[in-house]
Structure 1
């Protein structure tokens, strides 16, 4: 009896000791793991242990907030999964993957990982071919090994399950705390203030660099909500409408010339990543890669567009050009095509339709990409010719050739009985450029470049040469045409030439440190040229934002400007360049933030954009009601419906081959 009692005591003692040890291990893990995780995330996001350690030493309070955020994520997953070690592994997998994406995305296009990037779905997979090389794979392998090691700890760490009510209570607590920090509750705001959090919305690289990945990502969740501008309402929009009325000097539609009363075909061609590589100062070329563009820069209206993007985000440039709206008033890194264009939005397409035109979009890639199938309908296009609607197209490299797009434009104009507005987007010269897609490149480069950098630049230059030739193909055709036609040709953004702007640095285009305003302007400036087969005034435009281009071209054609484009045209004359982190005035002075003199006009612009995208369309109460409230066309894309039905299997096979 006594022996049995002693045995029971020993067993209870050992169980109690084991339970205490398990509790101690669990508590230690819950406390220490988020700190180690925060250090790991910052190391991945910043690139080196040294950079992470220096940031932590300089910003211990900010580091603590990042660790606190990760602790709530870890606690929630622990309560959800019920097992400590797998929860740590899942937390590390999620956080390290997000940090890797942010690191690669920043190095490639200068933007970190945002909350709304999660919405990109299939578009996000297009970054995978761009992430290559031994250094990149080494980073991925190290992270994978750490995560796997965490999961394997399950074999030696004892399992400790929380009681169900405890799990429920702690899980709710974690969610409430995360929600409060993301929603910036009063308690969270006090915590942020004491820690010295300083959000830099207009420069997200600096925002993530100063605050740390977890905190900056969390702060941006609130930024995804578009807030109503202070003072917005019918009265404020009435003031904007009166301003537009006072400034509008063209009362009605005008024809292109007294001799020709026909409306001109208006063709916008946004050529993928088109830029002038001869601007690289320390590189020479065996021949001029873009002679057509260089000739037009001397003979016709031309200049430089200030793009809101670098290396990617084509749809955001389309958004600015087609709607006259500015990415400057939307969260950095957002994608309006994915997030905001879910109802009819007044655009150049709906405007030209109202003038008796046929508005057509042409893009030599999948229609689902960037949600164009739906967006173009909401923009008022009558038809959209995407990749699956091309009949046996010519390919160069992995994509349909630029020449094929030019031939498609010609065919569309020739087949239409009405004048046409065409917005064409090419795909041939999409990055990355380390694939030797053309075999032997026609143009050789010479300069102090590594063989890898030279190969990237030669491949890109070959594509730019083909783009230039595709423009000449259009010019050759319409020079012989009796239909008045104007072509506006430009790129969407500078190309991503190597990892971390490598080719630009080697070629002396930018320095290796933080960009100056002049360097920022250079890295966002793409050439545009205008050609027509009738007389148009010639003008050199040193800077014009994409959001101002539509109004500018309508004015050049002496066409009546709809209200929103009339506003942007006037703003262009005062502040021709507008990015979230760069404003250029009429004298070409540059500012990192809007100068005081510009704020009243920019506030009106912000209110006007909010009214048309998110607000009540008060502007339609005063001006252009038919245009501003125009619905999507009922027969959108009907011309392609028989072709879609008959060629669906072939289109599916083609997608599988790309």
Structure 2
């Protein structure tokens, strides 16, 4: 071929076909780079062909976008290949190291990523990286010899107008698809996967390009109106005061779906068959504070309650859309763990479930827990049905407490149980399980009767766990504060089936009423054994805490209340602020607020000062989630 025939000028049709072919190749390469075998992904795609389009379309639009700018489809493909496959490799590494995929929000955390890399033993897929780099070089070389014919070849101005206009149009289409088609949760959930709750598995099966693009609109954290970073920094750098009281052991147990719904007038239990005798006994103990926490979710959202209690932030205030608080956590945060760690406590988190669920394994590192244990880390697990028993977890707590004492350490432990997790079907504890009939004056359907009898069996075991821990710590000369509460009300059928048959007044949809708040209330007790009561001057501490008469508070205040009672709230400007805010507005649930006199109002009926307090809560939370550097 003669020299003057180079570079070859490709026509518009040839360029378009080449862009389509290259987009497909880049998509396949990105899928090949994932931890699971490419054939596994392709077998899923055969059953759901739409996934082919959903994975390739963002890649294709990016190729077209840069082809307009560069006027060269191969240069464009080289850049897109580098970015898309680079992200795919990062996703593979992150899943292998932290069992969590790459999300779009990770792009804003390059500083954190750089510092975190030194904390892990990373095995880089050298051969995969070489394939990506080699393919980029090949595309660049092809771009030198094969170029697109320009539009309007005799007019440079028109050529640039077409370049910029075409790129802008491609970007607009991509952004529009991200916020419509790719944002659709119903579409995303419609594809069959082996485990919808295990996010890395979903990424592996539905394809990285599609899943990554879908998550541009998930787990969002909204910037509050009027947020000023420097103002929040000033709040956070406020004066701190060392602990004012002797150290005590603190054991916090968030029990799955624990509730006192059997106290409702629809039930006819007596003292002889009371499902919750230990809870009721503790409520009358002079060393006990009791009430209800208003949690983020109705009949679900365990990790959101963990987030609210441990950080003092509110899941429901993070975003106008529904979000998973733990999925919004991607950096070190202040928490109860850091307060107790600073006081040289032995800190731990226990949960007899999977480490990947709700991304707990990573989140509790971000929260500062020293020891983190899941089912796979525990020995000789005891089950009822498919769930680890509350009794087993009580034993784990006792053993950890004894280890801390023998090591001369004070213990801070947070345990999330799992035994009474839904579903409450007759086979929950095995086909031969017996369930005591529900004692109620209401007429129940067979479905509601089953749901309630199975649930109450688990509630009895939870109450037994509470009694066991109370008796164990009562016998100890070590000072111990025990906190025990439920993460949310149980799920008892679609559209609150069993609740409605019982005649319980619950309204999960916000209406600014007491029935709305009741839909989110679970019981709590904060109890001190005799040694702790003496060390903390418990009666005086309770009086100084000035809790509402009925003890109802938002879950975000529970941790701060424990810090106040044990003399540690002033160690953190944030938790001291929460302590003060709780006295003014003991419950903040979305746009419904309970005032200190226990009246319930809508947020738009608050005074200017009260509105400013809530704005400060949300602005400060945003700063902590997005900007604060925590070692």
TM-score if structure 2 supplies the norm length? 0.61
Counterpart pick for 1:441 among 430, 435, 438? 435
How do residues 337-416 of structure 1 correspond to structure 2 at under 5 angstroms? Answer: 337-338=326-327, 340-416=328-404
Partner of 1:266: 250
Counterpart pick for 2:455 among 426, 451, 460? 460
The CA distance in 2 between the partners of 1:79 and 1:513, in whole Å, is 40
Q: How many angstroms does 1:241 deviate by?
A: 5.0
Secondary structure, aligned partner of 2:281: helix
Contact 2:258 2:486 in 1 (8 A): yes
Partner of 1:501: 496
The CA distance in 1 between the partners of 2:57 and 2:611, in whole Å, is 48
Partner of 2:566: 557
Contact 2:293 2:524 in 1 (8 A): yes
Contact 1:232 1:607 in 2 (8 A): yes
Contact 1:280 1:504 in 2 (8 A): no
| Count of equivalent residues | 419
Aligned CA distance change for structure 1 residues 612 and 355 (closer, same or farther; 3 Å):
same
Counterpart pick for 2:613 among 589, 598, 601? 601
Are positions 1:478 and 2:473 aligned together? yes
Secondary structure, aligned partner of 2:523: strand
Aligned CA distance change for structure 1 residues 183 and 512 (closer, same or farther; 3 Å):
closer
Which range is displaced more, 519-528 or 271-280? 271-280
Partner of 1:97: none
Partner of 2:623: 611
Are positions 1:543 and 2:518 aligned together? no
Contact 2:508 2:516 in 1 (8 A): no
Q: How many angstroms does 1:482 deviate by?
A: 1.3
Counterpart pick for 2:524 among 524, 528, 531? 528
The CA distance in 2 between the partners of 1:270 and 1:502, in whole Å, is 25
The CA distance in 1 between the partners of 2:376 and 2:456, in whole Å, is 28
How do residues 129-528 of structure 1 correspond to structure 2 at under 5 angstroms? Answer: 176-177=172-173, 179-180=175-176, 225-237=220-232, 240-241=235-236, 245=239, 251-256=241-246, 263-285=247-269, 287-299=273-285, 300-331=288-319, 332-338=321-327, 340-416=328-404, 417=407, 418-438=409-429, 439-442=433-436, 444-446=438-440, 447-510=442-505, 516=511, 517-528=513-524
Q: How many angstroms does 1:277 deviate by?
A: 2.2
Contact 2:218 2:323 in 1 (8 A): no
Q: How many angstroms does 1:174 deviate by?
A: 8.7
The CA distance in 2 between the partners of 1:234 and 1:356, in whole Å, is 31
Secondary structure, aligned partner of 1:302: strand
Aligned CA distance change for structure 1 residues 465 and 443 (closer, same or farther; 3 Å):
farther
Secondary structure, aligned partner of 1:542: coil
Q: How many angstroms does 1:574 deviate by?
A: 0.7
Q: How many angstroms does 1:532 deviate by?
A: 1.4
Aligned CA distance change for structure 1 residues 472 and 337 (closer, same or farther; 3 Å):
same
Partner of 1:95: none
Unpaired runs of at least 5, structure 2: 1-49, 59-101, 104-164, 181-212
Q: How many angstroms does 1:255 deviate by?
A: 2.7
TM-score if structure 1 supplies the norm length? 0.58
Q: How many angstroms does 1:451 deviate by?
A: 1.7
Partner of 2:5: none
Contact 1:445 1:458 in 2 (8 A): no
Over residues 232-260 of structure 1, what are the superposed CA-to-partner deviations in whole Å (9 max), with x where a residue is unaligned? 34542255358x65xx8xx321234xxxx
Secondary structure, aligned partner of 1:429: coil
The CA distance in 1 between the partners of 2:168 and 2:245, in whole Å, is 66
Over residues 95-135 of structure 1, what are the superposed CA-to-partner deviations in whole Å (9 max), with x where a residue is unaligned? xxxxxxxxxxxxxxxxxxxxxxx98xxxxxxxxxxxxxxxx
Q: How many angstroms does 1:223 deviate by?
A: 8.0
Q: How many angstroms does 1:566 deviate by?
A: 0.8
Contact 2:438 2:452 in 1 (8 A): no
Over residues 150-192 of structure 1, what are the superposed CA-to-partner deviations in whole Å (9 max), with x where a residue is unaligned? xxxxxxxxxxxxxxxxxxx9999697346248669xxxxxxxx
Aligned CA distance change for structure 1 residues 451 and 234 (closer, same or farther; 3 Å):
closer
Secondary structure, aligned partner of 2:268: strand
Secondary structure, aligned partner of 2:456: helix
Unpaired runs of at least 5, structure 1: 1-72, 82-117, 120-168, 185-217, 257-262, 618-628, 631-658
Which range is displaced more, 428-437 or 462-471? 428-437
Secondary structure, aligned partner of 2:262: helix
Secondary structure, aligned partner of 1:365: coil
Q: How many angstroms does 1:515 deviate by?
A: 6.6
Q: How many angstroms does 1:594 deviate by?
A: 4.7
How do residues 72-87 of structure 1 correspond to structure 2 at under 5 angstroms? Answer: none
Aligned CA distance change for structure 1 residues 238 and 401 (closer, same or farther; 3 Å):
closer
Q: How many angstroms does 1:513 deviate by?
A: 10
Aligned CA distance change for structure 1 residues 500 and 226 (closer, same or farther; 3 Å):
same
Aligned CA distance change for structure 1 residues 171 and 228 (closer, same or farther; 3 Å):
closer
Contact 2:253 2:485 in 1 (8 A): yes
Secondary structure, aligned partner of 1:453: helix
RMSD of Structure 2 on Structure 1 (CA): 3.4
Aligned CA distance change for structure 1 residues 513 and 329 (closer, same or farther; 3 Å):
closer
Q: How many angstroms does 1:306 deviate by?
A: 0.5
The CA distance in 2 between the partners of 1:341 and 1:352, in whole Å, is 20
Q: How many angstroms does 1:231 deviate by?
A: 4.1
